[in-house]
């Protein structure tokens, strides 16, 4: 159930399900009964009556997946809820980092850009923070969440300082659809200060990897040449790992389900 547009996430969940032999139904929520006024809960209960094994939900409101999970019998996978969380993205990012760096500990990980509106940043901070990494957030003060000092991370407003000796550089898209005012002076100015180019990247470790969850805005948060640079960019590998991680999650969740018939009355 995708209530927000998606390319990578939706396609990889669909492919993951199909590779596991599932019957996958892709609901385009913009075209569904939601348009006719049905509530999120009623739509979910209707689908629940068809006894799915899993529901995959993306929604613009934080907490939507959790709310649905309380109303249906099957497992619900959060494919992104507002600016709150995007757990499968964090898992695929962690898998990509582990493959490239050989470990998930003692790394300096810089997450850069629009932290305030990013569910990818929140889920990555939670996951990568569990395994003794140093997490740095880099971005203008206007794009930092309030109470950032309680997150247990280092905060920088300058790329040169923040990228020093970084092992992993994770760039984020400016989430314009979640902004209701002027958070940056202009896109040109933003690229000048926070867009990842060769000069800024030279402050990170020589073998630093560059990540981006997509969709990318070349020339705004990242220079196109870096995004395509096979010596640093692991952006395509992230997409590839997305299918593997989602297959693993679907497999685990359906394995643990009890498919035995209910006892006869």
Active site residues: 8-9, 36, 58, 86
**5-44: which residues touch ligand NCD (CB under 6 A)?**
8-9
Rounded Cα distance, 118 and 115, in Å: 5
CB of 46 to ligand NCD, least distance (A): 25
Alpha-carbon distances of 38 from 34, 55, 118, rounded to whole Å: 5, 18, 28
Q: Which residues of 131-147 are buried (b: 16+ CB within 10 A; e: fewer)?
A: eebbbbbbbbeebbeee
CB of 222 to ligand NCD, least distance (A): 12
**Judged by CB, which is closer to ligand NCD: 4, or 38?**
4
Sheet with 209-211, side-by-side order of all strands: 154-156, 134-138, 108-112, 168-171, 209-211
CA 29 from chain centre, in angstroms, equals: 20
**93-122: which residues touch ligand NCD (CB under 6 A)?**
119-120
One residue of 43, 89, 96, 133 binding ligand NCD per CB under 6 A: 89
**Judged by CB, which is closer to ligand NCD: 134, or 178?**
178
Q: Is 233 helix (H, G, I), strand (E, B) or coil?
A: strand
Annotate each residue in 192-231 with x if it binds ligand NCD (CB under 6 A) or - if it does not, as one string. ---------------------xx-----------------
Residues interacting with ligand NCD, by CB under 6 A?
Answer: 8-9, 80, 86, 89, 119-120, 173, 175, 213-214
């Amino acid at each position: 159930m995708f209530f927000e547009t998606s390319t990578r996430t939706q396609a990889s969940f669909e492919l993951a399900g199909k590779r596991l032999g599932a019957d996958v139904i892709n609901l385009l929520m913009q075209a569904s009964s939601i348009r006719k006024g049905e509530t999120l809960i009623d739509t979910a209960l209707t689908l629940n009556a068809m006894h799915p094994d899993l529901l995959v939900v993306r929604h613009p409101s934080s907490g939507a997946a959790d709310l649905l999970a309380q109303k249906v019998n099957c497992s619900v996978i959060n494919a992104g809820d507002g600016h709150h969380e995007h757990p499968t993205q964090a898992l695929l990012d962690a898998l990509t980092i582990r493959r490239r760096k050989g470990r998930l500990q003692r790394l300096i990980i810089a997450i850069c850009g629009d932290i305030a509106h990013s569910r990818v940043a929140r889920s990555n901070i939670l996951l990568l923070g569990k395994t003794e990494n140093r997490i740095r957030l880099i971005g203008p003060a206007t794009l930092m969440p309030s109470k950032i000092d309680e997150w247990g991370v280092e905060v920088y407003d300058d790329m040169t300082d923040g990228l020093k000796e970084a092992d992993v550089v994770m760039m984020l898209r400016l989430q314009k659809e979640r902004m209701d005012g002027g958070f940056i002076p202009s896109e040109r100015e933003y690229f000048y200060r926070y867009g990842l180019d060769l000069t800024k990247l030279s402050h990170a470790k020589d073998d630093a990897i560059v990540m981006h969850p997509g969709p990318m805005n070349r020339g705004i948060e990242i220079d196109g040449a870096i995004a395509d640079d096979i010596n640093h960019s692991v952006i395509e590998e992230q997409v590839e790992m997305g299918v593997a991680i989602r297959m693993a999650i679907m497999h685990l969740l359906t394995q643990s389900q009890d498919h035995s018939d209910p006892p006869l009355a």
